[in-house]
Chains A and B, each alone.
Chain A
């Protein structure tokens, strides 16, 4: 075979190098898991894999940690999911989204869709939509896919102002059709605005459940989650230099690692999901941004004492939050909120 491997050989080493270089924030950069601006942390749909006709409710985890807030943060939802965009690419929805905003009864969901009025968008931390009954049948068949599927891409925007349509850059298919503006009509950027999206897949038979966080492990003690996913307040003492740290992490049962019928190893054996926990904080720091909980082939990486992250309190007293977001690699997510009081 003609040079079957020559152009791909460095992949393994590149992956290791990429991991080595990305395991911590480069010098001079702010840690992305320290929340001090308008941020969306994740979203979770009650059915990451829905069936056509199902009603899907999506909740978003967002927080406004700006020290100064001229205008409050609002979560806007584009009310019409973008169905089956070309190449399943989120940016393939943008031209239709802009057309809909201009009163063109076109996209994002196809002919007949109502126009979008940005001043009347639904807001809040959750949104429900109905997965169209034609979601799967309208999707172009994808060779190599484990099963036929449909894709709904749901857009939400965290904006400390109001939204306006902006013209697309004809030379960049990725350019956004909607901008966030303040009262002075100044377009806002990173600290005040996040353009987010989530994918919800439609399968005829495949299902996926969000990973379950049974409790939060704190130095070997299990903290129970309330209905709003919040655990009791974590009281710590501010410190400088050599501080007392806490080991903290989610307790995710092995049953959360569901079989993944679309993934197989080299021997053809079906793999399981990959599950990882991501850590965010508004006060104090974590030693790792992300820690793996379950590997598709290796399974569990151990007890919480093996997978917990290390939390270091800040040098100043105050109150804030920690979030532990647990993802699987099939669109499932759940989280726990940890209020922190620093004396």
Chain B
């Protein structure tokens, strides 16, 4: 709801403690007459200053703009002169968000009866506390008839808050109603007018804002006599300016808030790693950044930054996200059955939204931990209407890792180092229009000469050079032309590069992608919105690979990789993948929502068209609290990558891989903060690429996931996520159906974080998951060319499972507020009780002995953050 009438609400003034005067004398000790000594001085008579006038302090706009809506106390020390005027006001414990300035401004206008000493006014100092409470909101509305929109006078409007408390009013002659002084939150509004069908809806309102809606009611008679189609057409669909969160176009959409991302234990506040705690997401190997979504291969899940696909999301495969949490607005995660706006993928979608730069003043922060140092500065560019944000990060573990590697016998030219950067300028072009230019990228590099090796892998020596990264220049334009038409354009160009060399083997890929997505949303009528878009991907590329031939599935490597003559390929070509898509968001009846869609993709590589029909259905069963059943089905296609169809290392003649997604589930909001959901899913995979054989693989993945979540409030957030699933693959017809390497039967995650007060926050995460699948090895053969044993591997692959994984991670944060900002430190401890989790199997040189290779032991990490 737009803030049409921001209200200025007076802050209550509370006197916190009795005043004390600095200029008062020390109290005298009482004495009995018999003890009276001659000439003892009389005790002075002192009075404290007494408040006469207070105009009050206003809840600062800065706090509201920053989304801060909590009750706050600002303690002050006032200096009062002999006239009772405040000559100085100092903040004792700054709280930021504009509260300190508001308190000082208000305090300077206070008037007191001055303190006295022996009846004479004296200057004094006293403590004083301003308490700010979020300004209340206003609910308004207008009730009219569906036909002709005639105002309905005297309709009864009942507003019920989350705690069940009700307030009611009636509409005036113009059909308008108003309820003042309501706390911010979500309300259930029930409208009852004589001769009309009752109507109910939910509305959310922020502090100090006014939420308004126009509700159109139909006559009871019309509802009773109309046929089904007419009834649907005549249903009471309201025209809402802002009414809570728009239901997703997907069956399941999960969004993490900044506070959750920052505080999940075991993630070091890393944005994308936080996703690994959601239901349906498998536990990745330690420090790995893989996202295993509902049993799909990690490569089947795509990553986007504001709709622009990016090839890399983690530095060195998992150390940290390439986009720092601090520049994020949110992360949208779709584990399956996603909208037709996304294509060329058949797993899940992660879409990262960068936050618009702040417009009020210059802000900044610096943070450092054992891995990297990062910083951000943002704010307005003068009075130009533009705002900017500049952020960057560089790792510094090369400082200590380089010497460690050298001590271990490696020659280190460039120790592992990474950096990333983000630059944005943004301007609002009107109330509902904005444009933003962004430039972001990342770069990882290492250069090491391995001088020694073991008997188990004698050929793993030589120089290792790796240089990986990407950059994008992006423009994002949004415009809501009117209440019915909205345009969103995102276009980007840049470069991806991946260079890797090991001894005489090499892998070099560089491409220059140009991508764009243009989407128009048009509200065709009250119950139907159409989204039409163009999704374009053009990428010239060069591939240069020198490597031994790759084994086929089920085949063990034919020998140590450097003991065979390498193959070489060099090709220059381009990817051309245009697509069009359309979705229709229909709300044909109360609480119902149907979103059918169709996507048409073309892939130049395969010179084929892929049609992807999809549909999502949601139906609210109850509206307060809301209970929704939902389901969806769709076809998702993924064209082969240039590497997969390469004539030397891949298999020419491939077709797009296909996945059929089927979802069904239920969501329920128990309170404003507590919600739960259960989803069942089934995925049929066809035409999977099998190395050396072609598009002959298949698979099936099915399971159920549940999430019980407490959304962040002033103190707490947390959730319980559990997934039960099975992921199977068949490499080719006639080959056995086997468990996928990404199969994890049970995934349980329990997370909670609590603000203790005084800057302390404590969080814990407990994880219990099935072990990884692995392929057992046994005593086999001896490759005399490399003096190395080759294990006899069990077939089919991945027939054994590692033991259960469980781990408790804890995080403690402490922050101090100063007049200029905040200092925070944190301690994030992984695997607190040092459980010997198994990450894999270690074999001796000839695979006659084996032992468990343990996952990370207890691993504390420490960070510090300075924010201004």
Q: Identify the A interface with B (CB < 8 A).
A: 1-16, 18-33, 40-43, 60, 87-91, 142-146, 149, 156, 171-176, 189-190, 194-199, 201, 260, 262-266, 271, 274, 276, 278, 288-292, 295-298, 301, 307, 325, 327, 329-331, 333
Contacts and interface: CB of A to CB of B under 8 A. Distances in A.
Contacts of A143: 567, 569, 647-648
Contacts of B566: 262-263
A7 B558 contact: no
Contact of A149 (B317, B551, B565): B565
A278 to B, nearest CB: 5
Closest 7 CB pairs of A and B: A32-B845, A10-B317, A12-B466, A32-B455, A144-B648, A144-B567, A263-B504
B642 interface: yes
A29 B851 CA distance: 9
Contact of B461 (A40, A290, A333): A290
Contacts of A331: 563, 785
A197 B783 contact: yes
B110 to A, nearest CB: 61
Contact of A9 (B312, B502, B503, B506): B312
B452 interface: yes
Residue in A43, A142, A173, A199 whose Cβ sees the most chain B Cβ within 10 Å? A199
A322 to B, nearest CB: 14
Contact of B539 (A1, A24, A28, A274): A1
A143 B652 CA distance: 12
Nearest to B401: A16
Contacts of A11: 317, 466, 500, 507
Given A22-B456, A278-B455, A87 B555 contact: yes
A323 B665 CA distance: 66
9 contacts: A1-B539, A11-B317, A29-B845, A31-B845, A91-B555, A144-B568, A274-B462, A292-B452, A333-B784
B453 A19 contact: yes
Nearest to A279: B455
Nearest to B847: A190
Contacts of B513: 1
A41 B788 CA distance: 9
A307 B411 CA distance: 12
A19 B460 contact: yes
Given A25-B455, A289-B452, 19 more contacts: A3-B302, A4-B311, A5-B468, A11-B500, A19-B460, A29-B851, A31-B455, A32-B846, A87-B549, A142-B567, A195-B781, A198-B784, A263-B504, A265-B501, A288-B452, A290-B458, A297-B504, A327-B458, A329-B504
B316 interface: yes
A28 B312 CA distance: 38
A196 B781 contact: yes
A2 B781 CA distance: 39
Interface string B263-296: 0000000000000000000000000110000000
B299 to A, nearest CB: 4
Contact of A25 (B444, B460, B511, B845): B845
Contacts of A87: 549, 551-552, 555, 558, 692
Contacts of A7: 297-299
Interface in B412-437: 416
Contacts of B312: 5-6, 9
A15 to B, nearest CB: 6
Contacts of B448: 16
A286 B784 CA distance: 21
Contact of B449 (A90, A197, A298): A298
A6 B303 contact: yes
A175 B792 contact: yes
Contacts of B845: 25, 29-33
A292 B461 CA distance: 6
A173 B502 contact: no
A146 B539 CA distance: 29
B781 A6 contact: no
B314 interface: yes
Contact of B498 (A9, A21, A41, A146): A9
Nearest to A287: B452
Given A4-B642, A12-B468, A288-B452, A42 B787 contact: yes
Nearest to B782: A196
A266 B498 CA distance: 12
Given A265-B506, A271-B504, A146 B455 contact: no
B844 A25 contact: yes
B446 A4 contact: no
Given A26-B851, A144-B649, A295-B463, A3 B503 contact: no
Contact of B511 (A4, A32, A90, A197): A4
A190 B779 contact: yes
B418 to A, nearest CB: 11
Contacts of A9: 312, 314, 316-317, 468, 498
Interface string B219-237: 0000000000000000000
A90 B555 CA distance: 11
Given A1-B641, A9-B312, A264-B568, A30 B844 contact: yes
Interface string B369-410: 000000000000000000000000000000000000100111
Contacts of B446: 12, 16
Contacts of A263: 504, 546, 566
A276 B851 CA distance: 29
B673 interface: no
Interface string B443-486: 01010111111111111111110101010000000000000000
Contact of A289 (B317, B458, B554): B458
A209 B75 CA distance: 85
B508 A24 contact: no
A330 B466 contact: no
B454 A2 contact: no
A89 B555 contact: yes
B167 interface: no
Interface in B639-675: 639, 641-643, 647-649
B564 A88 contact: yes
A275 to B, nearest CB: 10
